Amino acid sequence: MAYLFTSESVSEGHPDKVADQISDALIDNFLAFDKESKVACETLVTTGQVILAGEVKSTTYLDVQKIARDTINKIGYTKGEYMFDGNSCGVLSAIHEQSQEINQGVDRGSKEEQGAGDQGMMFGYATNETENFMPLALDLSHRILLELAELRREEKDITYLRPDSKSQVTIEYSDDNVPQRIDAIVVSTQHDDFDEDEAMLAKIRKDIVEILIPRVVAKLPEAIQKLFNSDITYHINPTGKFVIGGPHGDTGLTGRKIIVDTYGGKGAHGGGAFSGKDPSKVDRSAAYATRHIAKNLVAAGVADEILVQVSYAIGVVEPMGIFVDTYGTCPFNLTDGEIAEKVSEIFDMRPFAIEERLKLRSPMYSETAAYGHMGRKNETITKSFSQPNGENITLDVELFTWEKLDYVEKVKTAFGL
């Protein structure tokens, strides 16, 4: 029997994502001036206030207030009427030095013997139902909000948009797990105040259905475009008026959108958030590494859908183990255990090896903090950073290195494909 599956996304202006972006901007600035920085930084945002807390071990000094304000302004919170804007909000820092008891389990005489920054299990997932090997419902949810943000910044076709928004997509699947059609789309977007609520709701619905969605569909592969039809159920701002939003409407915290950040409910999640953590924290680095493994395995044809789990003990170099689930989609006479054994031979999952393989000690993290950490475009961009003493640095930074299909041939050779 056919079934429905749903995933959601939230915009860069969602309060939890504002917090994530501030935390990751701090990570980038620390790594830009000291690649060996150890950082665990949490952010809370609410009406007119930003609170920074966490632990840092670094040789650099930063103006954390300026970094937070610049991040908020870049997102689009630039007006006092939002009750939260980068120029006027208060910024309180309670960041302190990292505990030596934690650090002694990570830093070793040899970098290759670096221990895991924490215990826990991390998951990576990939499916061939989309070109970027991501679950379709989540991919579409992200695309809707990315396009909505473009419309907001253009200030041309839709001029009343504010930064906070959410989306949700429900897809009907066949018994053999193939997407059949888009069943429902939910979009809630913050907006300027209108004189009449009913007229406002009608205009927002019309603009979302007739301007936003066609722009999203036009950028999709033809096979995915065919899943859109006139029978889609739309819920546009279903609660009505949405003027009060962002950190004024709802307090935001770093790390509260871990399913949005990963696979939209597909696969599994170990529970650890990413933003605000340097790559010695395996919550982040090993989650990227397992995505890299899963994507390369699916691209190589090992299976149509793969989940990879790795687990660690704090301060221990080697992982506790690697688990693989192909959901019965492996076309060869191989068990999931046999696949996991080969994976452990191909990919070095020691924390330092992951950092080196994926170039994780470069300031690449601000770009991950909204619209998902997985399924994004691997590209190199130029980024600039400044310190309070006037020192400036410009770096070429490769983004989303875990999305590279650079191990496909190695996987094919190992599996005899």
Q: 74 labelled as ligand-binding? A: no
Check whether 273 is labelled as a binding-site residue: yes
The answer on whether 110 is annotated among ligand-binding residues is no
- 263 phi/psi in degrees, rounded to 5: -125, 15
Q: Are 370 and 23 in contact (CB under 8 A)?
A: no
Q: Is 14 annotated as a binding residue?
A: yes
User: CA of 275: how far to CAs of 94, 198, 351, 355, 377, in Å?
Assistant: 17, 39, 18, 16, 18
User: Is 223 annotated in some ligand binding site?
Assistant: no
DSSP, res 177: S
Is 210 marked as binding a ligand?
A: no
> Which has the closest alpha carbon to 338: 350, 320, 324?
324
Residue 376 to residue 249: CA distance in whole angstroms: 29
Report whether 241 belongs to an annotated binding site.
Answer: yes
Give dist(CA 23, CA 44) in Å, integer.
10
Q: Is 55 annotated as a binding residue?
A: yes
Task: Say if residue 69 carries a ligand binding annotation.
Answer: no
166 known ligand binder: yes
Per the document, the length of the chain is 417
| 165 assigned to a ligand binding site | yes
Is 58 assigned to a binding site?
no
- Angle formed by the axes of helices 336-346 and 408-415, to 10°? 130
CA-CA distance, 366 to 288, in Å (whole number)? 15
The amino acid occupying position 404 is K
Question: Is 257 labelled as part of a ligand binding site?
Answer: yes
Distances (CA, A) of 316 to 34, 84, 104, 113: 24, 43, 11, 9
Is 250 one of the annotated binding-site residues? Answer: yes
Please check if 404 is assigned to a binding site: no
Query: What are the binding residues for K(+)?
Result: 42
Query: What are the binding residues for ATP?
Result: 14, 164-166, 241-242, 250, 256-257, 273, 277
Query: What are the binding residues for Mg(2+)?
Result: 16
Query: What are the binding residues for L-methionine?
Result: 55, 98, 250, 281
Query: What are the binding residues?
Result: 14, 16, 42, 55, 98, 164-166, 241-242, 250, 256-257, 273, 277, 281
